[in-house]
């Protein structure tokens, strides 16, 4: 599976969630992307869980300490 990569490490923090959510909204069912971040995006997971319950997948691929990678998908 060759999911696109969204690396937000060079983005200003205020723009990161906007990019992450717009990328999620552009996914079709069964698609996903890999989020690359410089910290654990756990607060973002809670936002997804509150706003999109049972409408997303969240799979850590790397958990720091310098880089976190999470595959975010649409079931």
Phi, psi (degrees; rounded to nearest 5) at 10: -95, 0
Over residues 42-61, the mean pLDDT reads: 97
Q: How far apart are CA 20 and CA 34, in angstroms?
A: 10
**What is the residue extent of each domain of the chain?**
1-29+41-62
d(CA 57, CA 41): 14
Question: How many CB atoms neighbour CB 34 within 10 A?
Answer: 19
Q: Check whether 1 has a pLDDT greater than 70.
A: no
Cβ proximity of 45 and 20 under 8 Å: no
pTM for the complete prediction? Answer: 0.94
Residue 37: per-residue pLDDT: 97
Mean pLDDT, the chain, integer: 96
- Condensed to tens digits (0 to 9), the pLDDT of residues 23-37 reads 999 999 999 999 999
- Going by pLDDT thresholds of 50, 70 and 90, the confidence category of residue 45 is very high
Task: Please tell me the predicted confidence (pLDDT) of residue 14.
Answer: 87
């Amino acid at each position: 599976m060759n999911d696109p990569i969204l690396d937000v490490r060079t983005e200003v923090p205020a723009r990161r969630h906007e990019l992450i959510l717009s990328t999620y909204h552009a996914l079709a069912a069964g698609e996903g992307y890999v989020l690359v971040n410089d910290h654990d995006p756990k607060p973002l997971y809670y936002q997804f869980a509150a706003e999109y319950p049972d409408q997303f997948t969240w799979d850590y691929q790397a958990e720091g300490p310098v880089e976190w990678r999470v595959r975010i998908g649409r079931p």
